[in-house]
Chains A and B, each alone.
Chain A
Amino acid sequence: MSSFHRAERRKSVAERSPSVSYAPDTIPQLAGLEKPQEHNLHIGECDVLVMGTGLVESVVAAALSWQGVDVLHIDNKTCYGDSNSTLTIEQVKSWCQEVNSGRIQHFEDAQVYVTGDIYHPQSKFKSKDYGIDLTPKIMFAQSDLLSLLVKSRVYKYLEFQSLSNFHIFENDSFSTKFANASSKEEIFTDQSLSLLTKRYLMKFLKFVLEDNNDEDKRKTLADNAKVTIYDFLSQKFNLETSQINELIYSIGLCIKPTTKTPEAIARIRRFLVSFNVYGNFPVLVSKYGGPGEISQGFCRSAAVAGTTYKLNTALTDYDPQLKLAKFSDKSSIKINEKLIVAPTQIPKFLQSSYNEITESLKKVNISRLVVIVKKDCKEWMADQECSAMVVFPPESLNSQNKTSIQALIQNGGTGVCPPGQSIWYLTSFEQDSIKAKQDLQCAFEKMESSILRESSDLDDVLDENLSVNKSGTSLVVNSVKLGKSLQNFVPKETLEIICKFGFTQKTYVLNDLSNVINPTDENNVSLRKTKDCEDIIFTNMPSSEISYDGIVKECKTIYQAITGSDDDFFDVDFEDDDEFNPAGFHQQPTTSSSNLKTSDNDMAIASSDDEDNAHPFGADEMEL
C-alpha cells in the first residue's frame, strides 16, 4: 500500500503552531481561532475526501487533519452522524421514508408510529426536543474511545453522566444483584449469598482482574478457548445459573449462551476495571445523544484543525486517472490521495465494487425497537441518574429468544427527551428478522408491565396482593418494591407511548468484533481490495456492540491504510490546561485591601480563569 509522502502534506497543526515555543499572543489551537487555510476558501484540491459523518469517519477526519492532511468531509444528508445520527422525531420520520424507498443502504424495514400529540399546536413538546440515536451506545469508564476523547480534548464539547444500574430479567422478574454499586461491596454485604458462593464469586472476579499477561491466567484461558463461559463458570467456580446469567449477560453483555470463555472473560473484565475510574459506576453515557453527539464533537475538532465541512453533498463522479471528484452541487475537486466512503454514501458508480468487496463476507442483522414513553422510569435508575440498562438473557422470554435482548433506557435528564418521558432502546441480535421483532415486542411488553407495576400506587398494589397473599404485609411490600414476579400483575393503567420506531440494520462487522480487532484483507471491508478503485476505502456499518468497543481500532485501521502507520494517530500534544497557578493565592497587605482595578469604561477584565481559583473550594467537587 502506498502511503503518501510527508513532503506532500502541509505541516501538522502542531508543527504549524507548536505549543512549545508558546508566546503569550498565540491563540490556543483547539479554540478554532486559527486563521482558515487560504486554499480552503476556494477548494481546488484536498488530500483525502471523507464521505459520511458517522463516528468512525469523523474520528478519522480529525486524526488526519491534526497531522496536516487536507480533508474535505461531506455527507449526503442534511445532518451530522450518518448511520450514527441522533435524530429528532421529524428526522426519524423522513429517515424511515428514505429507508423504505431504498435510498439508505443497509437499513431495512423501518417503521414509525408517532402520536398526534406532538403536532398539537398546544403541545408543550416539539419534535426537536427529542434526540433519538440510530445506534444507542454506552461507554465503559475504562475504554480506548474514552481515552481518545480525553487526549483529543473532544470531551470538552460533551457532557457525560454515569450509569450504574444493570437489571437482568429472569424467571419472569427483574433483579439487580451484584452488578450494582461496586461489585465487591455487594458481594461482601449481600445476605442472600452463602459464604461459599461469596468465596467462589470473589475467586472468579479475582481471576478476571488478574493481569492478562499472568502465566496461569493465559494458560487457563488457552485451555478453555473452546469451552463456553457457562460451562467454565459452573464447573470451575461452582456458580449457580442465576449468578452465571448475571455475569454473562448483564456484566459481560454477551449475547449468546455459546460465547466462548476468553471472549466472555474479556467482556466481564472491561466492566469490572471500569469501576472507580470516575466513580462508583462502570459506564458513562453522553448527554443529548450517544454516537451522534460524539461524531459532532470529532467533526468540530477536525474543523478546528482545518477540515472543510459540507453537508447535503454527494459524490456524483470520480475519475481515477485525473483523480477528479464531482459533486451534487456541481463543484469538483482534485483528490490527491484517498476517498473514504461510508456504506450509506456509496454513489451508483461505486456500487458494483462495493458488492464485489462484500460478496463473500458474512452479513449480520441488528434489529432495533425504540419506544418513547411518558414516564421517567426513575424506578430503574440509580439515585441521581437518568439512564439504566435492562438485559433479557436467551430463553428468558415467552418468545423463546435465542439471543439476549439489550435495552438502554434514558429519561429527560439526559437531554434526549423532555422531562417526565424516557426513550427505551431495545436491540435484538436474532438473525431471523421476523423472530427478532417478536422477541423485541415481547421484551418491550415485559418492561412495560414491570414499570407500570413498580410505579403503581403502593396502596393499590397492596390491596391487590393481600387478597392473593395473606402471609404478611411487609413481605408483600418488599416484593413490590423489588419488582418481583410479574405473573399475576394486570396493570390498571396503560403506558402512554409518544413514538414507537423500529428497523433492521445490516453490517459486516461480526458480533464478537473479531474482524475489527484483527482485520485482514480477507475479513474486513476497509482492507479488502478490488480492481479499478485503488483510491477508495470503504468503512464498516456500525457493529451490533452496545459499547463503543472496536471504534478506535476501526479508525486506526483506516488511518493506517492512508498514512502507512498509526504511530501518529492523534499525536497531538495539548498543553495541560489545569496547570496550578500559585499567583492566585498571593496576599496583599491589609492596608490596601479590596482594590478592584476598574478601567475607564467602568469595567475590568479580571485575570485568571483557572477553574480552581474561580471556585476556591472546587465547589462542585468538594461539595458537602
Chain B
Amino acid sequence: MWHNVKKQTLSSEARLAKIERDKEKIHSYNKLKDEIFKIRNEGSHTVEFLNKLTDLLGLNPEFYTIWNIRRETLSSLFHQHQLDSQSTLEDELKFVMVLMKRYPKCYWIWNHRLWCLFQLGKDANWEFELGIVSKLLSMDERNFHGWQYRRVVIENLETHDDLENLKINLQEFKFTSSKVNSNISNFSAWHNRSKLIPKVYHLVGKLNYQDEPLFQSKESLLLHELTLVNTGMYVDIDDSSIWVYLEWLLSDCFFIDELSNDKYHDILNDQLKIINELNDLEITDNGKDNCWCLKAMIIINELLDNRSAVRPLLEKLIDIDPLRRGRYIDQLDSF
C-alpha cells in the first residue's frame, strides 16, 4: 500500500537528514574544541578566544574544563584591561542565565554564576539572585542545585545586623513551608527546614523577638512540626522525606535537650500511637503492615528504651521487606 511505502521513505529521508545535520554539528563542535585547546596551549588570552569559548559552552555546558579556561581567560583579560570587568561580568551573568534556563541541572553553570558574583564583589546584586532562584524553584521545586544555590545567596544577603538576618531566615522558613505544602516529597525543602529551625530559634532568643509565636519555645515548635509531619504521613505514607524529617525531630539534641524526660516520653508515645493507627489502616486496606511505619516504630521504641517491643517489629519487617532482610537480621542479632 502506498502509505506504508511513503511513510518508510519519508522517515528514512528525515532520519538521514537528521544524521547529516547532527554530523555537521558534531563536526563543528569537535573542530571548535580542538581549536580551543590549541590556542590554550599557546597561552593566548584574547577576546576572540573568549567568544570561541562562548560558542562551545553554548553547545555543551557540561564541559567543565572549558568553564575553568573561561575564568582563567576572563581574569587575564581584566588584568590586561582588554575588557571592563564590571560590564563584562554583567554580560556574563546574562549568558549564564540563558544557559541556566536551558540546562537547569548543570552544576558548572551554577558554579560559574557564583564565581561571577564573587568577582563582582560588592557590586553583586544578591537580592536579584534570590528572585531568580525563587522563580527557578517555582518552576522546578526540587532542583537540588537551586536549593544549594539559595543557601549561598542567603548567606551573602546576611549582614551584621541580627534583626535583618532573623527576618531573612524567617522568610526562608516560610518559603520552605510553602514548598512543603505544595509538595510534601520535597526532600530539599525539608532538609533546608531542619537547618533553618535552629538558626531562627537562636536569633529569636538572642534578640528576644516576640513577633513570631511559633519560635517562642522549642516544645511548641516541635509539636507544630510533628503535626505537619503527621499530616504528611497520612497524605503520602510512602514518602521517604517525611520519615527522615520525623526521625530528625524526635532524635536531634536541639529539641531533646530542652524537654523534660516525661514530656519527651509523652511525645514519643503519642507518635507511636499515631503511627500504629496509621499502620492499622494500611493493614485494613492492603492486608499488610507498612514498612515505613514499622521502621519508625522501631526507632521510637529504641528511643523509649522499649527493647522488647523492637523484636516483633523487626520480625515483621523481615517478612514484608525481603530486600533488606539481611540488615534486619543483623539488627535482630544485637538484641
Q: Does A5 contact B (CB under 8 A)?
A: yes
Q: Does B160 contact A (CB under 8 A)?
A: no
Q: Does B266 contact A (CB under 8 A)?
A: no
> What are 8 contact pairs spanning A and B, CB under 8 A?
A3-B2, A6-B3, A20-B20, A199-B281, A206-B236, A567-B7, A583-B54, A617-B94
Task: Please report the C-alpha to C-alpha distance between residue A566 and residue B75 in the assembled complex, in whole angstroms.
Answer: 58
B-side contacts of A184, CB under 8 Å:
182-184, 235
Task: Please report the C-alpha to C-alpha distance between residue A583 and residue B54 in the assembled complex, in whole angstroms.
Answer: 8
Find the A residue at minimum CB distance from B2: A6
Q: Which of A48-56, A187-195, A299-307 contacts B (4 or more CB under 8 A)?
A: A187-195
A1-33 contacts to B, CB under 8 A, are: 3-6, 12, 14-15, 18, 20-21
CB atoms of B51 and A587 under 8 A apart: yes
B-side contacts of A571, CB under 8 Å:
10
Apart from A564-B2, A567-B7, A583-B55: 13 A-B pairs, beta carbons within 8 A: A3-B1, A15-B10, A20-B18, A20-B21, A184-B183, A185-B183, A196-B234, A198-B234, A564-B1, A573-B14, A587-B88, A612-B101, A622-B135
Kindly identify which residue among A195, A206, A590 contacts B82, using a CB–CB cutoff of 8 Å.
A590
Q: Does B91 contact A (CB under 8 A)?
A: yes
Q: Does B106 contact A (CB under 8 A)?
A: no
Q: Does B152 contact A (CB under 8 A)?
A: no
Task: Please report the C-alpha to C-alpha distance between residue A580 and residue B184 in the assembled complex, in whole angstroms.
Answer: 35
Q: Does B205 contact A (CB under 8 A)?
A: no
Task: Please report the C-alpha to C-alpha distance between residue A565 and residue B11 in the assembled complex, in whole angstroms.
Answer: 15
Q: Does B95 contact A (CB under 8 A)?
A: yes
In the complex with contacts A184-B183, A617-B94, A564-B3 CB distance below 8 A? yes
Contact with B along A50-78 (1 / 0, CB 8 A): 00000000000000000000000000000
CB atoms of B58 and A587 under 8 A apart: no
CB atoms of B135 and A624 under 8 A apart: yes
Find the A residue at minimum CB distance from B97: A617
Q: Does A117 contact B (CB under 8 A)?
A: no
In the complex with contacts A587-B91, A622-B97, A188-B235 CB distance below 8 A? yes
How many contacts A-B (CB < 8 Å)? Answer: 127
Contact with A along B1-17 (1 / 0, CB 8 A): 11111110010001001
A interface secondary structure, majority: loop
Contact with A along B226-241 (1 / 0, CB 8 A): 0000111011110000
Task: Please report the C-alpha to C-alpha distance between residue A622 and residue B3 in the assembled complex, in whole angstroms.
Answer: 46
Range for the number of chain B residues in contact with chain A: 35 or more
Q: Does A447 contact B (CB under 8 A)?
A: no
Task: Please report the C-alpha to C-alpha distance between residue A588 and residue B50 in the assembled complex, in whole angstroms.
Answer: 10
Find the B residue at minimum CB distance from A581: B58
Find the B residue at minimum CB distance from A19: B17
CB atoms of B181 and A188 under 8 A apart: yes
B-side contacts of A182, CB under 8 Å:
182-183
CB atoms of A3 and B181 under 8 A apart: no
Q: Does B131 contact A (CB under 8 A)?
A: yes
CB atoms of A590 and B84 under 8 A apart: yes
A-side contacts of B91, CB under 8 Å:
585, 587
B-side contacts of A206, CB under 8 Å:
236
Q: Does A472 contact B (CB under 8 A)?
A: no
A538-569 contacts to B, CB under 8 A, are: 563-565, 567-568
Task: Please report the C-alpha to C-alpha distance between residue A563 and residue B82 in the assembled complex, in whole angstroms.
Answer: 64
A-side contacts of B2, CB under 8 Å:
3-6, 564
CB atoms of A565 and B97 under 8 A apart: no
Q: Does B206 contact A (CB under 8 A)?
A: no
Q: Does B31 contact A (CB under 8 A)?
A: no
B-side contacts of A20, CB under 8 Å:
14, 17-18, 20-21
* A-B pairs with lowest CB-CB distance, top 9: A582-B58, A20-B17, A624-B131, A565-B3, A585-B95, A586-B51, A199-B234, A195-B234, A616-B94
A-side contacts of B230, CB under 8 Å:
195
A69 to chain B, nearest CB (A): 12
Task: Please report the C-alpha to C-alpha distance between residue A563 and residue B7 in the assembled complex, in whole angstroms.
Answer: 12
Task: Please report the C-alpha to C-alpha distance between residue A195 and residue B285 in the assembled complex, in whole angstroms.
Answer: 16
Kindly identify which residue among B18, B83, B101, B181 contacts A587, using a CB–CB cutoff of 8 Å.
B83
Q: Does B259 contact A (CB under 8 A)?
A: no
Kindly identify which residue among A185, A565, A573, A616 contacts B182, using a CB–CB cutoff of 8 Å.
A185
Q: Does A202 contact B (CB under 8 A)?
A: yes
CB atoms of A580 and B98 under 8 A apart: yes
CB atoms of B231 and A198 under 8 A apart: yes
CB atoms of A618 and B83 under 8 A apart: no
A17 to chain B, nearest CB (A): 13
Q: Does A203 contact B (CB under 8 A)?
A: yes
Contact with A along B165-190 (1 / 0, CB 8 A): 00000000000000001111000000
CB atoms of A624 and B3 under 8 A apart: no
Q: Does A589 contact B (CB under 8 A)?
A: yes
CB atoms of B83 and A568 under 8 A apart: no
Q: Does B27 contact A (CB under 8 A)?
A: no
B-side contacts of A15, CB under 8 Å:
10
Kindly identify which residue among B10, B17, B54, B88 contacts A582, using a CB–CB cutoff of 8 Å.
B54
Q: Does B71 contact A (CB under 8 A)?
A: no
CB atoms of A622 and B181 under 8 A apart: no
Q: Does B57 contact A (CB under 8 A)?
A: yes
CB atoms of A582 and B57 under 8 A apart: yes
Find the A residue at minimum CB distance from B132: A622
A-side contacts of B59, CB under 8 Å:
582
Q: Does B128 contact A (CB under 8 A)?
A: yes
CB atoms of B47 and A589 under 8 A apart: yes
Find the B residue at minimum CB distance from A187: B235
Q: Does B265 contact A (CB under 8 A)?
A: no
Task: Please report the C-alpha to C-alpha distance between residue A6 and residue B67 in the assembled complex, in whole angstroms.
Answer: 52
CB atoms of A189 and B14 under 8 A apart: no
B184 to chain A, nearest CB (A): 6
